[in-house]
Structure 1
């Protein structure tokens, strides 16, 4: 490795801190999801109520993301990161001490309000420490926990539920958070984030009032569609429609505001809009696929969540291996060709799942998952890095929440689409089933009789997953073209900060 290809020591120090925060916040979501049924039994509460432990957390998470750019400019990434991690750790401790479903839901909302800022604030700190042109290597570092946590989270969660108290689903965050705080105090720079608004302290209250509830309502509506499998459902369409109106109102406001809380005008920059669309569609393909993989192993093959998690692990290993190279290649060649290559690999590796049966070899599926992970490693974080490479340093704080919102909404949309398709496909091959609930209730002998029809339902759903990947290739090609046009231009410099 040449000296030029290495990240500077101060950037590596920030990256270490950010990775620890990413592991804690992302792992927490997947670990807790495994324990939903156990929590229902232990707290003597119906699943419909317990489900709000996940839903409330996700809504709180989505609500605070738009604030991250402003607080980074106003108080500095280090101060904000340490504050939200402290809040996350404290809320985790309260979750572990919860005495009822209602108290646990309330503490999970507090946990989400803190956790929603952990990753975006860390990304702002890294982007401004490393500079836009080095974001490929930076994103490859923090991308590893983002792709590994959804894979290994169910495994860890299954082990905790099986061998420890459910309270350790939350207590596990305490030592990780404490380590992150110590390292952040020693390693992170204390300067404020450099942004267009400078240190004027102006908060776009109207934009916040429109965007935060708008994003939360969209995420809620999509999650309801995913859980019920019905598109025409007033409980989902009502919040979804109101959320879309609020976000549209924010877009009109932000286009005219001097310092909007999220700068949607950045989407006009050559290539940035395409990179943002790629991030959103790639998020839909990733999170939608993560819904199908464990369900196939559990519903069609009758495996436990722990066994399903172990069988999905090859995807995470492939992604981790690919990221070692994809970051350097993104910095050297630009994100367009790297992301396009990754999406093509991802599409090809999805084909075995399109033709999956009730007896498909586990070895074949594991090999396909390794290749799929390689595709994700070359697609997901290089797409995000490409977006940052097209920004000036002072544009990073207000662009980061925009990219995070697009990725989160894209992921929710992908999960909703594939959940609805899967429910209808299962109902089609098993008339009267009405979804996956009947499949879960089958005995092993009964499941063996319907294994191939249910596998056909998963295969048909994977066709839609493949379509999401192919759609992501379109903006990736546009981004590639934009990068080629600007390849000879000097690295953009930050504008002078305007006077307060």
Structure 2
């Protein structure tokens, strides 16, 4: 019988692990880079395709909603098809639909192909996490740290690549550029990913659970972007009703549900998913608030704002490769808690900046430290979550963590954006200080959650 400590006590080391990491990074980086390139090119797409910005926005929204639609299927598909086969199918289809996007002849066709691309790419991130977790074992913090660092290059390089493509090649190459890189990724996946057909399990598909959870996720994500509209509020209520119905159904079905909520009975997994919810939410909420503050209160241009935000990404790039060494020496709780305290301490200076005016040097140092702190939170908690579940439950754990992450971002961002809008509507003179105080409160909640992580992984040693 498989124990809950199997991941921790049976690590796999050697070149084979790094080959799997290379494959996982290529898929995740390509997906991240694609999203960033398209997001910063929407105005150009609207102009070249002769449509409005509000209409072409569905190129991004349709992709994200399709991605959310597919997430609940991850665990069931892994059990039925195997990780290797599912990754190959998803990656190949992602590359193929990228080419279709490049051949689009109208705004409607481009949106339709982007929805297909989102459905194909929606499983790449959870599959990449699961492949690394299975291959790395107790080395997950170290290996995940190195694997995550290149993926951060997506948001950094995306605007640069998009500008070059639009200037010298045309919008279609925003999508064609995925094809040669994706083809290389597929070939490497065929060569490097281990076969896992012996791990297949024939499980019944929870159609009722899927029809409750998938629409709930899609409606929730859509409504958070339209929460100030009557229709957005109505859709949010419907999404919550669907989620409540899903929870009742899943609790009744147990491990036969499309998402096994029994995982949350374990304190470590429950704590780790809470941290992931808050961490992703704080990241997205900060990405909304800080640029808004710089442009609205400080009068900075969008290009200057983007440049001023660079230190935060650099801070995360610096912290990720150190996760293995730090967690091996100090344990996951101390590292994650220290990261939460550092990110909180680096958020508090924004209270001063919003009251007394922008100090560029202080902003740069603050953002760098905030990036270092936030980079030290996620990987230890993910390592703890995966080590706390049985080996055969890794697909379900990966699916659950990714869904919780997707919910955290829009939830806290919507709360913060609604608070800012309320303060601005009331003509308050302390809009941004109050907003940064609320963001700091989110950080405090995150610090409390990290303090509840186990000091070390099962086996009596700090995670390495």
Matches within 5 A, 1:286-325: 286-325=283-322
Q: CA deviation at 1:213?
A: 1.3
Judged with a 3 Å threshold, the aligned counterparts in structure 2 of structure 1 residues 160 and 280 are, in CA distance, closer, same or farther, namely same
Q: CA deviation at 1:385?
A: 1.8
Q: Which residue of 1 aligns with 2:104?
A: 98
1:51 matched to 2:49: no
Pick from 188, 201, 204: which aligns with 1:202? 204
Judged with a 3 Å threshold, the aligned counterparts in structure 2 of structure 1 residues 419 and 110 are, in CA distance, closer, same or farther, namely same
Deviations 1:174-210 (Å, cap 9, x if unpaired)?
A: 232122112111111121484xxx5214322222222
Judged with a 3 Å threshold, the aligned counterparts in structure 2 of structure 1 residues 263 and 189 are, in CA distance, closer, same or farther, namely same
Q: Which residue of 1 aligns with 2:219?
A: 217
Q: What is the distance in 2 between the residues matched to 1:377 and 1:9? A: 26
Q: Which residue of 1 aligns with 2:373?
A: 375
Q: What is the distance in 2 between the residues matched to 1:369 and 1:193? A: 47
Judged with a 3 Å threshold, the aligned counterparts in structure 2 of structure 1 residues 188 and 412 are, in CA distance, closer, same or farther, namely same
Pick from 143, 154, 172: which aligns with 2:177? 172
Q: CA deviation at 1:370?
A: 1.1
Name whichever of 278-287 and 37-46 sits farther off. Answer: 37-46
Judged with a 3 Å threshold, the aligned counterparts in structure 2 of structure 1 residues 142 and 354 are, in CA distance, closer, same or farther, namely farther
Q: CA deviation at 1:266?
A: 0.4
**Structure 2 unmatched ranges of 5 or more:** 1-9
Q: CA deviation at 1:22?
A: 1.0
TM-score, length of structure 2 as denominator length: 0.89
Matches within 5 A, 1:231-250: 233-250=229-246
Matches within 5 A, 1:127-142: 127-131=133-137, 133-142=138-147
TM-score, length of structure 1 as denominator length: 0.83
**Structure 1 unmatched ranges of 5 or more:** 431-452, 492-500
Pick from 436, 444, 452: which aligns with 1:470? 444
Q: What is the distance in 1 between the residues matched to 2:462 and 2:339? A: 27
Q: Which residue of 1 aligns with 2:158?
A: 153
1:254 matched to 2:250: yes
Deviations 1:471-494 (Å, cap 9, x if unpaired)?
A: 1122211224xx469664999xxx
Q: Which residue of 1 aligns with 2:4?
A: none
Q: CA deviation at 1:343?
A: 0.8
Q: What is the distance in 2 between the residues matched to 1:334 and 1:202? A: 39
Deviations 1:300-339 (Å, cap 9, x if unpaired)?
A: 4555544433322221111111111123333554422211
Count of aligned pairs = 452
Q: Which residue of 1 aligns with 2:434?
A: 460
Matches within 5 A, 1:337-352: 337-352=334-349
Pick from 397, 400, 406: which aligns with 2:398? 400
Judged with a 3 Å threshold, the aligned counterparts in structure 2 of structure 1 residues 332 and 269 are, in CA distance, closer, same or farther, namely farther
Name whichever of 462-471 and 330-339 sits farther off. Answer: 330-339
Q: Which residue of 2 aligns with 1:330?
A: 327
Q: What is the distance in 2 between the residues matched to 1:313 and 1:485? A: 34
Q: Which residue of 2 aligns with 1:441?
A: none
- 1:360 match: secondary structure: coil
Pick from 49, 61, 64: which aligns with 2:67? 61
Q: What is the distance in 1 between the residues matched to 2:303 and 2:191? A: 37
- 1:112 match: secondary structure: helix
Kept in 2: contact 1:34–1:305 (CA 8 A): no
Judged with a 3 Å threshold, the aligned counterparts in structure 2 of structure 1 residues 146 and 422 are, in CA distance, closer, same or farther, namely farther
Matches within 5 A, 1:26-41: 26-41=32-47
Q: What is the distance in 1 between the residues matched to 2:301 and 2:95? A: 30
Judged with a 3 Å threshold, the aligned counterparts in structure 2 of structure 1 residues 234 and 287 are, in CA distance, closer, same or farther, namely same
- 2:126 match: secondary structure: helix
Q: Which residue of 2 aligns with 1:108?
A: 114
Name whichever of 9-18 and 287-296 sits farther off. Answer: 287-296
Deviations 1:223-281 (Å, cap 9, x if unpaired)?
A: 222xxxx2xx3211222222222222222222232422221110001221011111101
- 1:71 match: secondary structure: helix
Pick from 275, 280, 299: which aligns with 1:278? 275
